[in-house]
């Protein structure tokens, strides 16, 4: 779709306003494009608000962040953007705060840890729009053939991987540390080892002792033992790992809700369990959120806020979550989903949300740090790699990026 670049201003009568929204596409085909979701939602909203028009342009995830940046750089901000990151725009004072927009009821309904992740220096600018968590997927057929049960600890995961390898499984554990989404796999493992990208006050600690111990274990006990498959982790992308799981070539891997549909289409019988930790189930899992934000330039706070209150109604949040196998970002929709049998498949992911930890998206340096992780983390587990050395290198880049803000 081609965005209409230009001021989103007054149209028609003097009281009429057109709001421009740029949004990401969560569909995997034209049949379930997010454009259809937005068109239906906007039609309902406009029928009740004849003085407001909402013009939505949907772009693929490959293009949407860049498209918004181009519009902002050209001084042609949309009224709203639903994309992957908000902190850079908040840092430049381009965004309304959530307080400026949402009703008290709507704002209070946002899941607390997601709302907190939408803050920069204690002020919320990013409104969570979609969320997901991660679970360990395993191939039930391969596990049965190998006579093993799902792991709860790292040692059990390694034991299972050895048993799967003995059965000729191509990827006993698929470890996608390739450039597509290495920052996600990395974070899941860091959390399971009791570490993470940042400490309790949000300072980067990528080369902490716990993080180094985690990657030492991955290298020594999985990768060097030949338990991660024929493709080097630094060259294995998530999409390829998911495709291999759907072909029945993977024993275990970390996955988000969309993997359920991918695997089911190919007839793979799968199970899901919480991520194993050093000495038991991991106390934290990785959560991911995408964001809604509103730009101040066009001055439509009242109309934008009223529209967003409608977007964040329980009915609309549930409809979006169900359409795209994502988790609700509001408490009311989460409770409704937990109690509805048709959402049983998503419940294990939903149960993980309260103990999930998100990327440090409130750090304006995070985009730069994530890019470095994607590029370099695979070297930590390469044949001649040094986990401590690679993590120290990434930490140095993170510290410089943070100090430059």
Q: Which residues contact 114 (CB under 8 A, 6 or more apart)?
A: 128, 131, 287, 289, 329, 358
- Asked if residues 218 and 247 have their Cβ atoms less than 8 Å apart, the reply is no
Residues 237 and 152 in one domain: yes
Residues 21 and 141 in one domain: no
**Residue 344 neighbours by CB distance under 10 Å:** 10
Residues 324 and 399 in one domain: no
Q: With a cut of 80, say whether residue 287 has pLDDT above it.
A: yes
Mean pLDDT to the nearest integer, 368-383: 95
Contacts by 244-247 with C-beta closer than 8 Å and gap 24+? 244/170, 244/171, 244/174, 245/137, 245/139, 245/174, 245/270
Q: Does residue 6 form part of some domain?
A: no
Q: Which residue has the tokens 């993080």?
A: 211
Residues 144 and 268 in one domain: yes
Residues 125 and 139 in one domain: no
> Smallest Cα–Cα separation from 10: which of 53, 45, 41?
53
Q: Does residue 251 form part of some domain?
A: yes
Residues 52 and 173 in one domain: no
Residues 108 and 157 in one domain: no
Last residue of a domain, one of 343, 358, 373: 358
Residue 88 structural domain? 17-131+288-358
> Smallest Cα–Cα separation from 61: which of 234, 241, 237, 290?
290
Residues 347 and 384 in one domain: no
CA atoms in the 13 A half-sphere facing the CB of 260: 19
How much is the pTM?
A: 0.86
Residues 265 and 318 in one domain: no
Mean pLDDT to the nearest integer, 220-232: 98
Residues paired with residue 83 on neighbouring β-strands, in sequence order: 291
Domain total of the chain: 2
Strand 80-83 relative to strand 17-24, pairing: parallel
Distance of CA 398 to the CA centre of its chain: 20
Q: Residue 15 — pLDDT band, cuts 50, 70, 90?
A: low
Residues 247 and 353 in one domain: no
Q: What is the CATH number for 113?
A: 3.40.190.10
Residues 173 and 242 in one domain: yes
Q: With a cut of 70, say whether residue 11 has pLDDT above it.
A: no
Q: Residue 203 — pLDDT band, cuts 50, 70, 90?
A: very high
pLDDT (0 to 100) of residue 363? 87
Q: With a cut of 70, say whether residue 195 has pLDDT above it.
A: yes
């Amino acid at each position: 779709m081609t965005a209409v670049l230009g001021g989103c201003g007054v149209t028609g009568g003097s009281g009429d306003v057109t709001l421009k929204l740029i949004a990401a596409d969560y569909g995997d085909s034209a049949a379930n494009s997010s454009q259809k979701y937005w068109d239906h939602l906007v039609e309902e909203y406009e029928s009740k608000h004849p003085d407001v028009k909402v013009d939505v342009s949907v772009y693929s995830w490959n293009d949407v962040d860049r498209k918004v940046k181009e519009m902002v750089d050209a001084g042609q901000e949309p009224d709203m953007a639903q994309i992957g990151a908000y902190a850079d725009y908040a840092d430049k004072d381009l965004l309304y705060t959530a307080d400026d927009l949402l009703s008290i009821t709507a704002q209070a309904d946002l899941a607390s840890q997601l709302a907190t992740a939408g803050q920069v220096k204690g002020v919320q600018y990013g409104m969570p729009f979609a969320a997901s968590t991660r679970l360990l997927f395993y191939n039930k057929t391969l596990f049965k053939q190998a006579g093993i049960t799902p792991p709860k600890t790292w040692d059990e995961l390694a034991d299972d991987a050895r048993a799967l390898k003995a059965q000729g499984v191509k990827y006993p554990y698929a470890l996608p540390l390739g450039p597509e989404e290495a920052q996600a796999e990395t974070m899941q493992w860091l959390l399971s080892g009791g570490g993470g990208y940042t400490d309790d006050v949000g300072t980067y600690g990528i080369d902490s002792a716990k993080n180094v111990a985690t990657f030492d274990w991955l290298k020594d006990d999985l990768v060097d033992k030949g338990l991660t498959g024929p493709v080097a982790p630094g060259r294995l992308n998530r999409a390829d790992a998911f495709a291999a799981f759907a072909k029945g070539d993977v024993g275990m891997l970390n996955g988000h809700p969309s993997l359920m549909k991918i695997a089911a289409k190919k007839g793979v019988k799968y199970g899901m369990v919480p991520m194993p930790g050093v000495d038991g189930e991991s106390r934290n899992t990785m959560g991911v959120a995408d964001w809604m934000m509103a730009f101040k330039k066009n001055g439509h706070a009242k109309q934008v806020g009223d529209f967003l209150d409608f977007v964040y109604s329980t009915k609309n949040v549930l409809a979006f979550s169900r359409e795209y196998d994502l988790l609700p970002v509001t408490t009311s929709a989460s409770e409704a989903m937990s109690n509805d049998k048709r959402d049983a498949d998503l419940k294990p992911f939903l149960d993980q949300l309260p103990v999930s930890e998100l990327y440090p998206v409130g750090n304006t340096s995070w985009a730069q740090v994530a890019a470095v992780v994607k590029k370099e983390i695979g070297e930590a587990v390469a044949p001649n790699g040094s986990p401590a050395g690679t993590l120290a290198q990434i930490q140095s880049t993170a510290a410089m990026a943070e100090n430059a803000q």
